[in-house]
A and B are shown apart, each in its own frame.
Chain A
Amino acid sequence: MKKTLFFLFQAATLAFSVTSCKQDDPATPEIGSVVLRFDHVVGSRDLVLNDSTYTNGGGESFRVTTLNYFVSNIRLKRPDGSEFVVPQDKSYFLVKESDANSQKITLDEIPAGEYSAVSFLIGVDSLRSTMDIGRRTGALDPGGAASGMYWDWNSGYIFLKLEGTSPLAPIGANGQRSFFYHVGLFGGYKSKTLNNLRTIQVPFGSSRATVSAGPAAAVTIKGDVLKIFDGVKALRIATNPDIMVSPLSADLANNYAGMFRFDKIQAN
């Protein structure tokens, strides 16, 4: 088996090297860009950090101070079911409500054509999570952009972080009533742990994102914070003000896996 795989690998290497010569071919396929815009709401209201008060399905009032999450392993799907996989090294983004630029993900070098859906992971896949630190730059740099989105004591990224205040939360060391939802865990290095990676499918309905050499199509995806509390399982601030490395993190991940929905496509 090993030997077969080995020869397959060689064959693949050879095939890859031969096709790489085609770059000189004048008939290079047309490429273009797609923009994914993440727009965060709380139910029917826009998400505003710190100042707006919202109410979850349990009647608990809360404010949001932080909403960050990783979007990775993006795939664009065509109506015929085929898909374009965004190259791994260009497929990691950290979306932060506090940083408007981060909510706009531009994907370049996308083959021209029509796309009818996008899928992505919330979080960082296990392969990348265990890769050499030199392969984890940009959004994934724990000493840079990923600062605060990385568990140093249990090596791994925080996939999604939702923090806020609520009169239902206990008083913390800073004198504030805060809740902390940090979800990570990619399945473990050697011993199995929870795998809280979730793949999100966002079909565009009857709309199509057209990729061409012209202006990029911008796909707006709404992310509804209420779904984090009221999704597959209702989670309440009063009973669970802190969810981090615990079995409940899987419920939280199931909830936020349902928070995204297609909104519209516009020219960027």
Chain B
Amino acid sequence: MRRRQRFGLVASLVFFGLVTSCKTDSGGGDPDPGPSVEFKPTPYAWKKPANFPDPVYNFSKNTLTQEGVALGKALFYDGLLSRDGTISCAFCHQPSAAFAHTDHPVSHGIGDRIGTRNVPGIQNVAWGSAFFWDGGINDLDLLPISPIQNPVEMGDSLKNVLNKVRNNGQYRALFKAAYGTEEVTTERFLKALSQFMLTMVSGTSKYDKYARQEGGTQLTESEQRGLTLFRQNCASCHQGELFTDGSFRNNGLAMRLVNSSDYDLGRYLITLNLDDYNKFRVPSLRNVERTPPYMHDGRFQTLEQVLNHYVNGVTDSPQLDPLLKKSGSAGLPLTRQQQQDLIAFLRTLTDYEFLSDRRFQPE
């Protein structure tokens, strides 16, 4: 903000304060006294890793507090959020897998129902501007409604879950500690879950330490070659320190048959735009070594299979991302050694401190 503007803003605020102060004579009283004066939650010191850009999430509308995060964590680990009490958020989002799930190609939910997509991890969501493989959600605060109400995930309704939370004695103290009163509202419930998810920051991998030049961290020769190859071949989509540009792209996965259960049009389902046919959100590659399976439908089990796809398996289509056709034919020309170097680099994105962080473990 330029100085003149700042002066203007301050001046207008002062005027506003002066002028509105005449209202205090009305004697109407404050209709909403709000929480009592003793309500003082403990601020949560949320830190942006030095090599990261500014977060996207608007923290000013949901100030992180120790108590808010603790409430969010209690909810995250509570099966109460599902219809029959068996499925918590953590059922699919496990801390040791960067809050993804490694056992099934696609999500596995209530009553052993099987979903259609690979469970996405939860990490660095403060920098996310679109969530889910198709970007159907743009606001982190709205995200939990979807798994709660998905009939093959938690199978309940938000309304019913809120009633269950209201009737559960355990939560009265937690809501009071976080918000000053015991009242359970949609906003409080969702923002507490956001608070916990926002603390899931992965920024202490070997790569991060190398990028920040901490403790003289060096990459091995293979990792260094992999980083160079990565920048040449992958970083236009898996961009920057988040290792995603958040866009939706078609990376040439062979389409499954129409009418099969895994036929998935991706971003098209949200936009109804034919250009978005079979496009999916570019995932971050942080902790990628620990988050198999890969792709929206979990079709690959290993990083070697993923690299093999980009070298030998890219299917051409009108929607195929042009960056995968640079050499004239579909796919990336990488030798076996280059693929191994790339995988060596990708392993430097594994953040052991994040994966074993005690703050994320169930109480």
Contacts and interface: CB of A to CB of B under 8 A. Distances in A.
A132 B141 contact: yes
B46 to A, nearest CB: 19
A163 interface: no
A159 to B, nearest CB: 16
Contact of B142 (A3, A133, A246, A247): A133
Nearest to A21: B22
A6 B5 contact: yes
B12 A190 contact: no
A13 B15 CA distance: 9
Interface stretch (B256-264, B269-277, B287-295, B302-310): B269-277
B15 A17 contact: yes
A246 B265 CA distance: 13
A188 B135 CA distance: 11
Contact of A143 (B5, B139, B186, B273): B186
Contacts of B141: 132-133
B16 A14 contact: yes
Given A14-B15, A190-B130, A193-B271, A23 B23 contact: yes
Interface stretch (B154-162, B222-230, B322-330, B333-341): B154-162
Contacts of B9: 6, 10
Contacts of A45: none
A21 B22 CA distance: 6
A68 B185 CA distance: 23
B352 to A, nearest CB: 34
Given A133-B141, A141-B186, A144-B159, A10 B8 contact: yes
A136 B185 CA distance: 11
Interface stretch (B83-91, B105-113, B144-152, B311-319): B144-152
Interface in B16-37: 16, 19-20, 22-23, 25-26
Given A193-B270, A194-B272, A14 B12 contact: yes
Interface string B161-200: 1100000000000000000000001110111000000000
Interface in A190-219: 190-194
Given A24-B25, A132-B61, A154 B269 contact: yes
B146 A13 contact: no
Contacts of B190: 133
A152 interface: yes
Contacts of A147: 157-159
B128 interface: no
A10 B5 CA distance: 10
Interface in A142-177: 142-144, 147-148, 150, 152-155
A3 B187 contact: no
A144 B189 CA distance: 13
A137 B187 CA distance: 9
Given A142-B158, A143-B159, A189-B138, A154 B16 contact: no
Contacts of A188: 271
Interface string B119-148: 000000000011010011111011001101
A130 B130 CA distance: 13
B158 A133 contact: no
Interface in B195-235: none
Given A144-B159, A190-B130, A134 B142 contact: no
Interface residues of B, number: 48
A195 to B, nearest CB: 12
A188 B276 CA distance: 14
A130 B26 contact: no
- Centre residue among A17, A130, A133 by max chain B CB count within 10 A: A133
B186 A155 contact: no
A198 to B, nearest CB: 18
A149 to B, nearest CB: 11
Contacts of A18: 19
A152 B136 CA distance: 9
A224 B10 CA distance: 54
B77 to A, nearest CB: 20
A22 B5 CA distance: 29
B10 to A, nearest CB: 10
Nearest to B13: A13
A20 interface: yes
Contacts of A24: 22, 25-26
A245 interface: yes
Contact of B139 (A14, A153, A155, A194): A155
Interface of B: 2, 5, 8-9, 11-12, 15-16, 19-20, 22-23, 25-26, 61, 129-130, 132, 135-139, 141-142, 145-146, 148-150, 157-159, 161-162, 185-187, 189-191, 267, 269-273, 276
| CB-based closest 4 A-B pairs | A143-B186, A17-B19, A143-B158, A147-B159
9 contacts: A6-B8, A132-B61, A137-B185, A142-B158, A190-B129, A191-B270, A192-B273, A245-B269, A245-B272
Given A17-B19, A132-B187, A193-B270, 18 more contacts: A3-B2, A14-B19, A17-B20, A18-B19, A133-B139, A133-B190, A137-B185, A143-B161, A143-B185, A143-B186, A147-B159, A152-B146, A154-B136, A155-B139, A190-B138, A191-B267, A194-B272, A245-B272
